[in-house]
Amino acid sequence: MRNFRLDIRPSSPAVGAEILGVDLSGPLSTEETSEIREALKEYGVIFFRDQELTPEQHIAFAERFGPININRFFQSVSGHPQIAEVRKELDQTTNIGGSWHTDHSYDEAPALGSILLARDVPEHGGDTMFASMHRAYEALSDGLKRTLENLRAVHSSRHVFGAAARYAKDTAGRIGNAELATQDAVHPVVIRHPETGRKTLYVNAAFTIRFEDWTEKESKPLLDYLYAHAAQPQFHMRFRWRKGSIAFWDNRATWHFAINDYHGERRLMHRITLEGVPLA
């Protein structure tokens, strides 16, 4: 048996790497799967190019890394409830994921990661930004680190996907099931990553609403500081999509931001989300 080694090219000093020369349409060896898993741990998000996958192959690849979460808000691909559509049509102005966030932080066991496959992309624009929350945490002062390690934060889906939410109205036909937007979860503000053990900042502007036992008004100044801190360019990288590109990111280690700069063009992505574990 050959000693398999992936061709891994880091995307930036902070986060991300592209993996070359791997065809994900067929079965992966145990060694290949292990190396992809290790690359995800090390870089937070990994990228593949020119992957012409059927929905069945997309699902088979994802299942190598864990059970699939059936998304309760996104419209799914016909016949494949495991795959959520991330779609923006020519006449739509609001995109999905157009602010810094991490998926499913409102769940008691937040998603391990997401595997996004580009089906139809605009000629220009529609890039996605990624940020390392481990690097963002490391750059905080020792005093603020000590303060944050004693805090827990409340995350919610209600204000984003609920019936009264503006976002739910602006994405009607793509986002639904507002009656299921009842999830609230409490997580440590600083987590130890379940697999790497690295300390990581775990709040995000989309779903974190306040610190536990604090009011929203009391929480806002510190949360706003943390969001501005983590949004600094030194923690980022930018990925330009092509048809057949895949991004596989760790939701416990990164933020992402889908840039909405392609009005009048269509963008269709297929996303599979992997089940995670409670955070400590």
Active site residue 101: yes
3-state class percentages of the chain: helix first, strand second, coil last, to nearest 5: 25, 30, 45
Active site residue 134: no
- Note the pLDDT tens digit of each residue in 152-166: 999 999 989 888 888
Separation CA 123–CA 241 (nearest Å): 10
pLDDT of residue 168: 78
- What is the pTM (predicted TM-score) of this model? 0.94
For the residues 134-153, what does the mean pLDDT come to? 98
CA distances from 28 to 38, 212, 242 (A): 15, 43, 23
Q: Which of 155, 174, 193, 271 is catalytic?
A: 271
pLDDT of residue 6: 87
- Note the pLDDT tens digit of each residue in 201-226: 999 999 999 999 999 999 999 999 99
End-to-end CA distance of the chain: 39
pLDDT of residue 232: 98
CA distances from 80 to 63, 115, 138 (A): 14, 15, 40
152 in a structural domain: yes
For the residues 41-57, what does the mean pLDDT come to? 97
236 pLDDT above the threshold of 70: yes
Q: Which of 101, 187, 198, 267 is catalytic?
A: 101
For the residues 253-265, what does the mean pLDDT come to? 97
**H helix runs in 64-188, sequence order:** 133-138, 142-148, 158-161, 166-170
Separation CA 94–CA 58 (nearest Å): 27
232 in a structural domain: yes
Separation CA 136–CA 122 (nearest Å): 31
> Poorest-confidence range of 71-80, 210-219, 233-242, 258-267?
71-80
Q: Which of 58, 135, 256, 270 is catalytic?
A: 256
Calculate the CA 127 to chain-centre distance. Answer: 14
**H helix runs in the chain, sequence order:** 30-43, 55-63, 133-138, 142-148, 158-161, 166-170, 216-230
Active site residue 193: no
1 in a structural domain: no
151 phi and psi, to 5 degrees?
-110, 150
Residue 244 belongs to a domain with what CATH number? 3.60.130.10
Residue showing tokens 């984003």: 160
2 pLDDT above the threshold of 80: no
Model confidence band, residue 4 (pLDDT cutoffs 50, 70, 90): low
- β-strand partners of 87: 268
Strand pairing of 199-201 and 80-88? Answer: unpaired
3-state secondary structure of 235: helix
- Note the pLDDT tens digit of each residue in 165-200: 888 788 888 888 888 888 899 999 999 999 999 999
Q: Which of 58, 87, 103, 198 is catalytic?
A: 103
Separation CA 257–CA 97 (nearest Å): 6
Domain that holds residue 73: 7-274
107 in a structural domain: yes
Q: How many domains does the chain have?
A: 1
Active site residue 174: no
Model confidence band, residue 1 (pLDDT cutoffs 50, 70, 90): very low
238 in a structural domain: yes
pLDDT of residue 3: 47
174 in a structural domain: yes
2 in a structural domain: no
